[in-house]
Amino acid sequence: MNRKIRKLIKVIGIEAFCLLLLTMVWFVGSQKKAEGGEEYQNMAEQVVTPTDPPIQVTPVPTTVPTAIPTAAVTVTPEPTVVLTEETEEEGQEGTESSYGTSNYSVEEGGVDEAYIATLSMTQPGSLIKSAGAVDVVYYMQTDDRWGSLYYGDDTSTDTIAKYGCGPTSMAIVVSSLTDIKIDPVQMCAWAAQNHYWYPASGSLHSLIPDCAKAFGLKSEGVINDADAAGKITKALSEGKLIVALMGKGHFTSGGHFIVLRGITEDGKILVADANSEENTNTEWDVETITSEAKAWANANGPFWIISK
């Protein structure tokens, strides 16, 4: 074989080798590109689960909210010399009542003739008679005829039904022991005019002895001590009436005036409770009366023995 043919074969072999090498390089590159695309596609299809919850961002207000002021609490001191009568039902609002004008002076004493002379058109009460008791003219402070009327001055919203036990008890006493007939409205007017009304509380304790004097009766204060039961039973057996200031118990949850009107043969106490017909029709042990009466009261109370 001559030199030219051998040279041609050599050149063709080199070119074939190069072509084969290029073909292999191209094939390998194509394979890797395909694998990379498939891997990218697999990554794109994966669901990524976050390891932490998303952060909640609360927007900051651009203005500062205005604070609502808290209303100041006003503390009203409790009166030191008052009766606070509490009943289960609130009294209804009504109209103010007024009778006559009183010129009574506690210091001067005597009977309030000027006010008594103004009394007219007195509303009747119920007559209660019991063996061993004074016959009493019984009034209830919750009576529909006056329960919703005001007790006090022209600024008062205190109704007789809720706050009028003191004057109503004294209306019972005066109407029963004297020839003077006076109903709860008239007695409330007298008490208010002479400054025995205490707003939103009831009546001053001194109403009882001072009212007795103003209407011509005698009054003796009895403190609630070991001798009280004996003095009460003795006075009732003598035909006298007693106004008692009761505390928490059968008669009230706060403070309440009632009238003790007699004593039975077996020593039970009879009462006239201006706020309860049931209590009025019940016989009571003297121990119940003394234990539930206020331990102390102004004007030598909490019991006032009243007689002619």
pLDDT tens-digit readout, 254-296: 999 999 999 999 999 999 999 999 999 999 999 999 999 999 9
Q: Under a CB-based contact definition with an 8 Å cutoff, are residues 87 and 158 in contact? A: no
Residue-averaged pLDDT of the chain: 80
pTM here is: 0.70
Between CA 117 and CA 115 the distance in angstroms is 5
CA atoms within 13 A on the CB side of 117: 8
pLDDT digits (tens, 9 = 90+) for 118-147: 999 999 999 999 999 999 999 999 999 999
pLDDT score at 239? 97
Between CA 26 and CA 59 the distance in angstroms is 58
Q: Is a pLDDT exceeding 50 seen at residue 49?
A: no
pLDDT digits (tens, 9 = 90+) for 94-120: 333 446 777 688 777 789 999 999 999
Q: Is a pLDDT exceeding 50 seen at residue 90?
A: no
pLDDT score at 71? 37
Residues 70-86: what's their mean pLDDT? 35
Residues 20-38: what's their mean pLDDT? 61
pLDDT score at 10? 67
Residues 64-73: what's their mean pLDDT? 34
Q: Is a pLDDT exceeding 90 seen at residue 203?
A: yes
pLDDT digits (tens, 9 = 90+) for 207-261: 999 999 999 999 999 999 999 999 999 999 999 999 999 999 999 999 999 999 9
Q: Which of 43-47, 75-79, 160-164 has the lowest mean pLDDT?
A: 75-79
Res. 33 pLDDT band, cuts 50 70 90: low
Quick one: DSSP state of residue 104? -
Percentage of the residues of the chain whose pLDDT score is greater than 90: 64
Ramachandran region, residue 57 (left: φ > 0; alpha: ψ -120 to 50; beta: rest)? beta
Between CA 202 and CA 205 the distance in angstroms is 9
Between CA 303 and CA 7 the distance in angstroms is 154
